[in-house]
Amino acid sequence: MNLDFGNEYADFRNEVQSFCEQYKGIHVTGSLYSYESVMDPNEKPKIEMDYKEWQKILIEHGYHVRHIPKEYGGFGGDLDIVKNVIITEEFSKSKIPTGVGGQGIDFLVPTLLEMGTEEQRQRYIQPALYLDEIWCQGYSEPNAGSDLASLQTKGELVGDEWVINGQKIWTSTAKYAQMMFCLVRTEPEASKHQGISYLLIPMDTPGIEVRPLVDMTLDAGFNEVFFTDVRIPAENIVGERGQGWLVANKTLVHERGSLGDPNKMIRRYDKLVNLMKSEILDGVRIIDKPVYRDRLMKIHGKILALKSHGLRLLSGRLNKGQDINLGTMIVKLYGTEMRYELETLAIDVMGELGTLYNNSPHLRDNGGWQYAYMYYLGLIIGGGTSQIQKNIISERGLGLPKEPKIQGA
C-alpha cells in the first residue's frame, strides 16, 4: 500500500497549482455543454471567459486532451494517468472547471486515433478538440436500444456515395452538431454484428431532419434524427465495411467506465448536507432529525466505498498485475444507482417543497434537485441500462451462462 505518486510528480503538481492560482474564480460562458457548477454561488466571478478560449488555454498548457499528438492539435504529452489525476485533483481543489469533452473528444477522437485513416485524423481531430466542430452520436434507434446490434438504419453504396435511410433516437447535441458518427447497416446479408459500418455524416446534408425530444425534465436534451436519401461521400467510413460494431465497441467500453466520478459525488454530498442544515421542519433542522440523518449516512457510506474504489481502479491502471476487471464493470451500475438515491433523499428532505419546479416561488437551489432527481434516472437507463449492466457483470464478470437464444433474434 502506497498512496504517494512519488517525487517525480511534485514539480508537475506545483506547475498545475500555479496555473490554478492564476485562474481562480474563473467563470466560463457560452458553452452548450454544462460546466458543472464548481464555484460557490455566493462568490462573484473574477474572470469571465468564452468556452472556446478556455478550451484553447487548457489544451496549450497540456491540461486537457494531453496525450493527443501535436500534429492533430493536441498537446502531444505522454499518456500519463497520474498527471491526469493531479490535474483533476488540483482543478477541483481550486474550483476551476476542467476542459469539456462531449461526444467528439470522448468518443470520436479516440476512435479515429485507433481506427481512422490519416486523412480522417487530419481533417476531424483538431476541429473536435477546439470545439469548432461539434459531434453527435447516432447509435440508438427506436427498435434498437439495449439490443443495439439489431439496428436497421440502412446505408447503400451507390456509385461513390452512401445513401442513408432510417431513424436514430436519443441523439444528444444533434441540434447543434455539425457532424455525426453513425452506425448504419450496410451489409444486409451478413449476420447482425457483421453487417454494420461506422459512417461520418455532415449534419447539413440534405435529407436530415432533427426533431427535439422533450424528456421528463421538460428539457429537450435529446433528439430524434431522420434520414431520407441522405448522400455522403463513400470515403466517410471508419474501418472497413461491416466492421462498425468493432469500431463502436471500443468507445462504448470507455463510456461505461467513465460515469460516476467520486469527487463529483462528494461535492454533491456536501451540497446535500448544506441543504439539510438549512431546511427546517417544525422548528428543527432536518439534519438533526434521526430518520433523515440515517439515510444521509447510509449514502455517505456508499460514497466512501466508491471513493476508495476509485483508488483501486487507478492503482489497477498503473500496476498491470492488479486485476480490476470486475471492479471496472460495476462502476456504471453502482455510481448511477447511488447518485439517484442521493437525489431522492434531497427531494424528501424538502417534503412538499421538493416537488416545486419551473421557477416556482420557494424553489431551492434553482430547482436543481428536482432536475437532478429526474436527470439521474435517465442516466440509470442511458449508456446501457442497469439490467444490461447486470447481464454484463454476471456473464463476463462472474462467468454465469448466457440465456439461451431465441431463434431468429
Partner 1 sequence: MYFGLSEEQQFFQESIDKFLEDTVTVDALRSYRTGEDDNLIDDVFNGLNELGLSGLIIPEEYGGLGLDSLFAISVSESLGKGVAPYPFIGSFLIAPFLINKLGSDSQKQKYLPSIANGEYRFAVALTEMTGRRIEKGIQSSKQKLSGQSLFVMDDIHSTHYLILDSDGALHIVEAEESGLEKVELKTVDITSFVSELKLDQVKTEDLGNGPGNIDAIKQAINLGRVAIASETLGASQSMLNRSVDYAKERKQFGRPIGSFQAVKHMCAQMASDLEPCYSMVWYAAHSIDHIPHEADLMACQTKAHLSEVGAFVAKTSTEVHGGMGFTDDLGLHYWFKRIGLNRQLLGSPDLLREEAAEAQGI
- Eight-state DSSP code of residue 166: E
406 sits near partner 1 (criterion: CB under 8 A): no
Among 69-77, 96-104, 156-164, 298-306, the segment contacting partner 1 (CB under 8 A): 298-306
Q: How far is the CB of 36 from partner 1 (least distance, A)?
A: 23
408 sits near partner 1 (criterion: CB under 8 A): no
Helix (H, G, I), strand (E, B) or coil at 4: coil
Find the binding residues for partner 1 in span 176-195 (CB under 8 A).
none
Pairs from 312-315 (Cβ < 8 Å, separation ≥ 24) = 314/81, 314/85
Q: Closer to partner 1 by CB, 325 or 359: give it.
A: 325
400 sits near partner 1 (criterion: CB under 8 A): yes
| Other CB atoms within 10 A of residue 57 CB | 16
User: Which residues, 6 or more positions from 259, have their beta carbon under 8 angstroms from its beta carbon?
Assistant: 331, 332, 335, 336, 379, 383
CA distance 222 to 381: 14
Q: How far is the CB of 97 from partner 1 (least distance, A)?
A: 26
> Judged by CB under 8 A, which of 30, 304, 351, 355 binds partner 1?
304
CA distance 164 to 200: 11
Would you please indicate which residues are annotated as catalytic (active-site) residues? 255
> Judged by CB under 8 A, which of 159, 283, 361, 404 binds partner 1?
404
Find the binding residues for partner 1 in span 250-279 (CB under 8 A).
273
Q: How far is the CB of 347 from partner 1 (least distance, A)?
A: 20
| One-letter amino acid for residue 110 of the chain | P
Greatest C-alpha distance within the chain: 76
> Judged by CB under 8 A, which of 38, 330, 353, 363 binds partner 1?
330
One symbol per residue from 3 to 22: x for binding partner 1 (CB under 8 A), - otherwise; what is it?
xxxx----------------
Contact 338, 303 (CB under 8 A): yes
Q: How far is the CB of 315 from partner 1 (least distance, A)?
A: 4
CA distance 233 to 200: 9
Helix (H, G, I), strand (E, B) or coil at 218: coil
- Eight-state DSSP code of residue 359: T
Q: Closer to partner 1 by CB, 196 or 331: give it.
A: 331
Could you write out the three-class secondary structure of 276-330?
HHHCEECCEEHHHCHHHHHHHHHHHHHHHHHHHHHHHHHHHHHCCCCCCHHHHHC
One symbol per residue from 362 to 391: x for binding partner 1 (CB under 8 A), - otherwise; what is it?
-------------------------x-xxx
For residue 236, the number of C-alpha atoms closer than 13 Å in the C-beta half-sphere is: 25
- In the chain, the N- to C-terminal Cα span, in Å, equals 48
Contact 273, 266 (CB under 8 A): no
Q: Closer to partner 1 by CB, 126 or 328: give it.
A: 328
302 sits near partner 1 (criterion: CB under 8 A): yes
Q: Whats the size of the chain, residue-wise?
A: 409
157 sits near partner 1 (criterion: CB under 8 A): no
Among 45-53, 153-161, 231-239, 400-408, the segment contacting partner 1 (CB under 8 A): 400-408
| Other CB atoms within 10 A of residue 160 CB | 9
Q: Closer to partner 1 by CB, 34 or 325: give it.
A: 325
290 sits near partner 1 (criterion: CB under 8 A): yes
Find the binding residues for partner 1 in span 53-92 (CB under 8 A).
82
> Judged by CB under 8 A, which of 70, 320, 362, 402 binds partner 1?
402
Please report, as ranges, the residues that interact with partner 1 according to CB under 8 A.
Answer: 1-6, 82, 273, 287, 290, 293-294, 296-298, 300-302, 304-306, 308-312, 314-316, 318-319, 322, 326-327, 330, 333-334, 387, 389-391, 393-395, 397-404
